[in-house]
A and B are shown apart, each in its own frame.
Chain A
Amino acid sequence: MTDGRDGRDRSSRERRGATERAGTEGDALLDVEDLHKYYFERDSLVDRLLGRDARSVKAVDGVDFRVHPGETLGLVGESGCGKSTTGETLLRLREATDGKVRFDGESVFDLSGAELMEFRKRAGIVFQDPYSSLDPRMTVGELVAEPLAVHDEPADAENRTEARRERVDELLERVGLSATQRDRYPHEFSGGQRQRVGIARALALEPDFLVLDEPVSALDVSVQAQILNLLADLQQEFGLTYLFIAHDLSVVRHLCDRVAVMYLGEIVESGPTEELFEEPRHPYTRALLESVPRASTDERDREIEPLAGDVPSPRHPPSGCRFRTRCPAVIPPSDVEIPQETYREVMDLRERLESGAMNTERARELAAEHGNERGNGVNTNGEEGRVEDRGDATTETAARLCTVLFENDIGGENRAVVTETLGHLLDGERDEAVSMLRDRFESVCERQRPVLQAGPHPAACHLYDQPTERPNANPAERTADD
């Protein structure tokens, strides 16, 4: 990886750019700064005529990272976290909403004409699905030659067709196919062979940098290992720099030098692979690592605590820390003493209250159900009864509801607050219930969006060093409350 074409030479030649920012070690080949990509729904002509406002989906919401020459940065996350969108946006295959991407010191979003073509030559992509990423109506030879044709390469050759064919044959052989397969169509190949064709195509222009967008996740395990080895060999041979996008953590650990973990459009933690896997800091990273089933006989007895619930919609991401709705380590206010599991339950109740999943009607139903079970029927139905009962009966019902709703024992002052809240809820005063719970239990995690610290292994989590709390400290905060 130290041959003449190495991107490292080029970047050392133009030593400038992002060095002033903290946490830099050497120059980055790719520097992504505060990248945003929003999609807008309800944005058609009809919607405009009907006067509906466009709704934004925050696929990528303020992502910073850099990739150094010759290294592999892994971008990991679950489906819908924005990792693939990040990869495509930084290559300008999608238009960014905001942010900066510098490739070898030049701002990618400002390129045009010949400069853009030069960037296209130096930065390529390999896609996930080997079935849809090859045009079914072109032969493998045509597919691999297409980038050459687009760039009129090789420019200096006398017989261009002949030179191109030689180059195609060479590429096919390099990725482990045979040159005699040049005239076959993609459907005559297996998934692994198609992915080899995709890689040969991406290599055709001798790039410095490749985005590998889940290149092995559609493949069988035995073939997946072949492709991973091939990618590692090619990196060695051509001094390539990779941005490796994946959801499979074991593959990432195998291939990457550094890893960035994404959740709901943000990077929550990044660091050197070894360190991040051995000592994950962000609760999400920890949960992710714990969730992966290991292929070993001890796996059955490994205790895991899977994350509850689903990833929230990127249309309405939670305020503050996006992971707080599922986080097993969400931080209670400093003046409230409460066990962690109980606090999680309180926060879940708040979430359900605020989203409307828990409402007066539902609370009354629940109370009635469990009241009958115990055989002490309390009058909870009927508006008339309620006014007179206000007081003892409601409080009693609320107390019972409290035990129904909470698995863990909630004690002392917290219990009193929760019971009172439920009392309000049973009386139909939802807003008061909501604000009462918020007053007591509002977490720093929902007030402020955590940021990545400077340093080699930052985690965007309030458990770790964060800037002192200021309202709207983070400029990105304004985008999170619509």
Chain B
Amino acid sequence: MPEADRNADVGETAASGGATAAEPVLKVRDLSTRFFTEEGQVNAVESVSFDVHDGEVFGIVGESGSGKSVTALSIIDLVESPGRITAGEVWYRNADLAADMREEHPEAIDGEYVDTRRVPEGVRRSLRGPAFSMIFQDPMSSFNPSITVGEQLAEAVEVQQRARANPRSTRSRTQGYGLGRYLSDWMLPSRSFVSTESRDRAISLLDQVGIPDPADRADEYPNQFSGGMLQRAMVAQALAGEPDVLIADEPTTALDVTIQAQILGLLRDLQDEADMSVITITHDLGVIARMCDRVGVMYAGEIAERGTLGDVFDRPIHPYTEGLLGSIPDLDDPAPRLQPIEGNVPELLDAEMGNRCYFADRCPKAMDECVAEKPAEVGIEGSDEHRVRCVLADHEYDPARALSTTEREREASADD
């Protein structure tokens, strides 16, 4: 879809929703997540900020250990011990919720926005499903192997319905599942505890994600599904709550290319139909190019560069972005030699993360100022969206000030 059309679409839907296109559905500000491990404090996510607009696909791309998955988990508050979200705000636009919360938590409200980091945990939990839902990388381990796929979906549907009926209550998740119910389930483990309506909804969800013969497949167990089919089922599960924002964490990494093409096509169709916002997290630049309107490139827990797809892919400023693009062999136009980034991804131990650019010791364009101070994120002229955390955004590379090899080695050995 051409750029202009897409913007028009966004504008239209946003207008019908009573807001303007400029107001994103999700604003993440200075989000930081730390892991407190035996080896020390790991800064997995370091002051990350970005916006997600209505009906757009925002991509986060990065290598393993760049903090992209932890960012996603932090948004929906699923970070587990020893990890903890230590700072930041996640502003979610929802007028109803804002009105509800204004009395009790005025500090968490800003117009139509609610800072999910500052509302009680129960409220935050109730947002999982109707506001945010997530697709994980490995569909096999995301389903319980001993319950049929249909029943698991129907359960998700019921949970969402209860949450919808009483959205602010923490009890909503377990309502209607009392002691008697528990005992009867325990005595008759095979007894289904989902209603016929939920089951029908589950089947229609399976149909929606393109599973043939959904009524029959609903009665099958996860191991009877192929990887691609199971990934479709997981998409169906994520759709059960009709979320505003769908977070897809490496949705196709475990799949073969032909199946990947199916799933990407499905996600795009669903996003067009339901007009969801999608956050796609992946290491695959091809997936980003196929899915996303705007993209953030993560390195060492930070967003190194973000902007529209064109900004990042065609006019990259950050040497890391350039390096990533130079590292992948082009299928249509093979270069004789790849231009890899030397060195390895840092381990993000707090003790080793000084006040400097984290990419400097792998950077082919590192200069003296890169290790003197951490560069700030600056906007790039010519695009409203394009922002880069690199000194090159400010001035050109000057070989005279290049970080000398000895200095670079000193930096590197300091890391060891």
Direct contact of A and B (CB under 8 A): yes
Residues of B within 8 A of A310 (CB): 226, 228-229, 259
Residues of A within 8 A of B260 (CB): 291, 293
Q: Which of A226, A253, A301, A357 contacts B331 (CB 8 A)?
A: A253
Asked if B339 contacts A295 (CB within 8 A), the reply is no
Name A269-303 residues within 8 Å CB distance of B: 277, 287-297, 299-301
Asked if B334 contacts A254 (CB within 8 A), the reply is yes
Q: Which of B324, B326, B329 contacts A250 (CB 8 A)?
A: B329
* Interface: B342 (CB within 8 A): yes
Q: Which of B257, B258, B340 contacts A229 (CB 8 A)?
A: B340
Asked if A292 contacts B283 (CB within 8 A), the reply is no
Chain B proximity mask over A355-367: 1 for CB below 8 Å, otherwise 0: 0010000100100
* Interface: B144 (CB within 8 A): no
Residues of A within 8 A of B213 (CB): 357, 362
* Interface: A220 (CB within 8 A): yes
Asked if A229 contacts B338 (CB within 8 A), the reply is yes
Asked if B261 contacts A307 (CB within 8 A), the reply is yes
How many angstroms from the CA of A213 to the CA of B229 in the assembled complex?
Answer: 27
Residues of A within 8 A of B337 (CB): 229, 232
Asked if B344 contacts A294 (CB within 8 A), the reply is no
Asked if B340 contacts A294 (CB within 8 A), the reply is no
Name A247-271 residues within 8 Å CB distance of B: 247, 249-251, 253-254
Name A308-356 residues within 8 Å CB distance of B: 308, 310-311, 352
* Interface: B396 (CB within 8 A): no
How many angstroms from the CA of A226 to the CA of B310 in the assembled complex?
Answer: 26
* Interface: B392 (CB within 8 A): no
How many angstroms from the CA of A291 to the CA of B264 in the assembled complex?
Answer: 10
How many angstroms from the CA of A192 to the CA of B340 in the assembled complex?
Answer: 12
How many angstroms from the CA of A277 to the CA of B326 in the assembled complex?
Answer: 21
Q: Which of B2, B290, B342 contacts A299 (CB 8 A)?
A: B290
How many angstroms from the CA of A249 to the CA of B325 in the assembled complex?
Answer: 17
Chain A proximity mask over B330-363: 1 for CB below 8 Å, otherwise 0: 1110110111111011000000000000000000
* Interface: A304 (CB within 8 A): yes
Residues of B within 8 A of A300 (CB): 1, 289-291, 309
Asked if A220 contacts B63 (CB within 8 A), the reply is yes
How near does chain A come to B291, taking the closest CB pair, in angstroms? 8
Asked if B283 contacts A221 (CB within 8 A), the reply is yes
Chain B proximity mask over A208-236: 1 for CB below 8 Å, otherwise 0: 00000000000011111110110010000
Residues of A within 8 A of B226 (CB): 310-311
Asked if A307 contacts B340 (CB within 8 A), the reply is no
Q: Which of A220, A221, A304, A310 has the most CB of B within 10 A?
A: A221
Residues of A within 8 A of B313 (CB): 295-297
Asked if A288 contacts B257 (CB within 8 A), the reply is yes
* Interface: A190 (CB within 8 A): yes
Grouping DSSP codes into helix (H, G, I), strand (E, B) and loop, the A interface class, with mixed when no group exceeds half, is: helix
How near does chain B come to A364, taking the closest CB pair, in angstroms? 13
Q: Which of A296, A297, A301, A310 has the most CB of B within 10 A?
A: A296
How near does chain B come to A295, taking the closest CB pair, in angstroms? 4
- Interface size for A (C-beta < 8 A) is 47
Asked if B64 contacts A295 (CB within 8 A), the reply is no
Measured CB to CB, the nearest residue on chain B to A193 is: B344
Q: Which of B215, B283, B286 contacts A293 (CB 8 A)?
A: B286
Residues of A within 8 A of B331 (CB): 249-250, 253, 277, 289, 292, 294
Name B292-343 residues within 8 Å CB distance of A: 309-310, 313-314, 323-332, 334-335, 337-342
Asked if B261 contacts A224 (CB within 8 A), the reply is no
Residues of B within 8 A of A254 (CB): 329, 334-335, 338
Asked if A225 contacts B257 (CB within 8 A), the reply is no
How many angstroms from the CA of A191 to the CA of B344 in the assembled complex?
Answer: 9
* Interface: A6 (CB within 8 A): no
How many angstroms from the CA of A362 to the CA of B216 in the assembled complex?
Answer: 9
Asked if B334 contacts A253 (CB within 8 A), the reply is yes
Q: Which of A253, A287, A352 contacts B329 (CB 8 A)?
A: A253
Residues of B within 8 A of A293 (CB): 260-261, 264, 284, 286-287, 289-290
Residues of B within 8 A of A232 (CB): 337
How many angstroms from the CA of A308 to the CA of B226 in the assembled complex?
Answer: 13
Interface residues of A, Cβ cutoff 8 Å to B: 78-79, 190-193, 220-226, 228-229, 232, 247, 249-251, 253-254, 277, 287-297, 299-301, 304, 306-308, 310-311, 352, 357, 362, 365
**Listed A/B pairs (25) with beta-carbon separation below 8 Å:** A78-B257, A190-B344, A192-B344, A223-B340, A223-B344, A224-B327, A225-B326, A247-B257, A249-B331, A250-B329, A250-B334, A254-B334, A288-B257, A289-B331, A291-B257, A293-B264, A293-B286, A294-B289, A295-B285, A296-B289, A297-B310, A299-B289, A301-B1, A301-B2, A310-B259
Task: Beyond A221-B324, A250-B328, A306-B258, list 10 extra A-B contacts (CB 8 Å).
Answer: A78-B258, A221-B285, A222-B340, A223-B344, A225-B339, A291-B258, A295-B288, A297-B314, A301-B2, A362-B213
